[in-house]
């Protein structure tokens, strides 16, 4: 499995947003989101839609520095009408996807990360939506599905983000070190969907590989991705842990970026 094409990310942004909108339709938008306890479903939707519009404005203006929220057109929806929220989500995703497609993947612009290009924002907004759609599904008690290539790329991107966080001195990510320890994440339903994370004295490295490790984690790919993003509990019943469970907990507690 490899990175998706830029056009696929542009398409996927709309597809994932449409899936989020379908989850929200008819749901209680005042319901608390279990995995984001400070948010209601409406709060989550506004966060996702605002992120789309913010990224879209960065791309549209070819920004060379962060864009303040107040400079983003229609950064928040008007009123509390669910129909207005739905239309706002759809319009924001469509405009951002169009801006990304027009820019092309390689066009340089500001980002907070290691990759200052439109391609970064296309990928980031897709996976922002993929993970928060899982939050919405959990709150609405609906069924969550995502294609294997998107789930695998979500995991790849998160590993890149955590590695970047460690390099930038994030205090929790900085603790992901200590030679001689390793984790192997193995999707049971998708050949080749495996990740090996190895700790060294200076940090961690990762690659796609099937090798013995200090702890092995086996689950269907979607569940593995949700676990990786701390949207699924290790003890959910769908995850098999072989070896040092404490090392898995250590990883999940610190593989963050604040």
Domains along the sequence of the chain with CATH: 6-145 (1.20.120.450), 171-254 (3.30.1050.10)
Contact 17, 89 (CB under 8 A): yes
Q: Would you state the pLDDT for residue 258?
A: 59
The whole-angstrom separation of Cα 132 and Cα 228 is 14
- Nearest Cα residue to 247 out of 205, 203, 199: 199
- DSSP per residue, the chain: --PPPHHHHHHHHHHHHHHHHHHHTTS-TTSEETTEEEEEHHHHHHHHHHHHHHHHHHHHHT-SSPPPGGGSTT-S-SSS-HHHHHHHHHHHHHHHHHHHHHH-TT-B---SSS--BHHHHHHHHHHHHHHHHHHHHHHHT------HHHHHHHHHHHHHHHHHHHHTT-TTGGG---TT-EEEEEESSSTT-EEEEEEETTEEEEES-----SEEEEE-HHHHHHHHTTSS-GGGSS-EEEE-HHHHHHHHHH----
Q: Would you state the pLDDT for residue 3?
A: 76
Q: What is the pLDDT tens value at each position of the chain, 258 positions in all?
A: 457 999 999 999 999 999 999 999 999 999 999 999 999 999 999 999 999 999 999 999 999 999 999 999 999 999 999 999 999 999 999 999 999 999 999 999 999 999 999 999 999 999 999 999 999 999 999 999 999 999 999 999 999 999 999 999 999 999 999 999 999 999 999 999 999 999 999 999 999 999 999 999 999 999 999 999 999 999 999 999 999 999 999 999 999 875
Q: Would you state the pLDDT for residue 1?
A: 43
- Nearest Cα residue to 72 out of 102, 97, 52, 91: 52
């Amino acid at each position: 499995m490899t990175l998706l094409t830029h056009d696929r990310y542009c398409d996927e942004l709309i597809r994932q947003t449409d899936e989020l909108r379908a989850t929200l339709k008819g749901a209680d938008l005042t319901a608390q989101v279990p995995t984001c306890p400070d948010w209601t479903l409406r709060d989550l939707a506004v966060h996702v839609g605002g992120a789309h519009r913010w990224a879209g404005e960065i791309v549209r203006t070819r920004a060379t520095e962060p864009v303040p929220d107040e400079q983003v057109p229609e950064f928040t929806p008007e009123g509390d009408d669910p129909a207005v929220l739905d239309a706002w989500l759809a319009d924001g995703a469509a405009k951002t996807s169009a801006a990304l497609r027009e820019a092309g993947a390689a066009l340089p612009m500001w980002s907070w990360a290691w990759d200052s290009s439109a391609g970064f924002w296309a990928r980031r907004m897709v996976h922002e939506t993929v993970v928060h759609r899982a939050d919405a599904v959990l709150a609405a008690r609906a069924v969550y599905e995502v294609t294997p290539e998107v789930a695998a790329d979500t995991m790849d991107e998160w590993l890149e983000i955590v590695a970047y966080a460690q390099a930038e001195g994030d205090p929790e990510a900085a603790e992901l070190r200590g030679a001689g320890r390793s984790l192997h994440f193995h999707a049971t339903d998708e050949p080749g969907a495996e990740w090996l994370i190895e700790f060294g004295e200076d940090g961690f490295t990762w690659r796609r590989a099937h090798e013995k490790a200090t702890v092995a984690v086996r689950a269907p790919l979607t569940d593995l991705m949700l676990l990786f993003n701390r949207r699924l509990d290790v003890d959910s019943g769908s995850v098999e842990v072989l070896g040092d469970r404490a090392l898995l907990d250590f990883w999940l507690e610190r593989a963050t970026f604040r």
